[in-house]
Chain A
């Protein structure tokens, strides 16, 4: 039993060591016109308190953090978030109809099937670059290419 437990522990070790901050399930919706802002989504989770301070991608002139707030009357507004606080153990999920990364001044249309790199800068974790797959214009989530 012991060697197995040890093996499992060792196998999990690299993940534990690297798991201070994870960026998972990134995806962007294909854009219809390059002249219109695009949107990207992902999930962030940190083991320690951290703050997302900057976003950068060659696919867009600049990236903004937005929260779509829909009130009880169904009126939607976008709130600009300057810096996003991460609380240990509480994942932050960006999803359609909620928080999203607004990709402004796209350098080109986001074509379905392509990917682009996105660099996130955190106060503690530093820079993390992920490859963002571009899904269909009608996609509603990371695992749904329909």
Chain B
């Protein structure tokens, strides 16, 4: 009896140790990846061991309404940061998100595609409205003050910078990370995609399976 319960205790400890090792490895890996991803000259947000990506912001949507991330609770969210002076990758990614929505069929009712500008100086509410409406009727465009955008991007670990370019309109362009963030109905981070990783249909199938498995709280 003693022997058995001791054995059980030991294996539980062993399992516990392995679990802790696993957590440590994942945390270290995440910290390493994050460091590798953060350009050195930026005061990158610190990783504390919690989920690195936080769905948090206070911004203005394309209808002029002040919104926070909580306003989209109950919906799956596809979040993309870009800007409207970007002629290639941004419309391509927004078109991709629209294709994902179409491929989702009826399930798209549980998904909100969100386009957040990293260029709020030029991407006003009106500009965002024209933009998102051109891509998908359910797409939401978000803009705000420079500080609000910086906060939102920081929470999503999105990196962007203004790059001076005399040949660009107004003398600058933006470099930015082109990820699509998949956020769950509870606001939690689920996944990150790049347009070009897979066809829109594949993205939609994956998302559809997630929706099926988890359901939506709304």
A residues touching B (Cβ–Cβ < 8 Å)? 29, 32-33, 36-39, 64, 66, 68, 70, 73-78, 80, 96-97, 100, 102-105, 137-140, 146
Contacts and interface: CB of A to CB of B under 8 A. Distances in A.
Nearest to A137: B134
A97 B196 contact: yes
Q: Dominant SS at the B interface?
A: mixed
Contact of B87 (A39, A75, A77): A39
B199 to A, nearest CB: 10
A29 to B, nearest CB: 6
Contacts of A77: 163, 175
B190 interface: no
B203 interface: no
Interface in B101-144: 127, 130-131, 134-135
A97 B89 contact: yes
A64 B37 CA distance: 30
A70 B176 contact: no
B148 interface: no
Interface stretch (B5-13, B14-22, B63-71, B90-98): B90-98
Contacts of A68: 88-89
A40 B14 CA distance: 60
A39 to B, nearest CB: 4
B85 A76 contact: no
Nearest to A73: B37
Nearest to B195: A97
A45 to B, nearest CB: 22
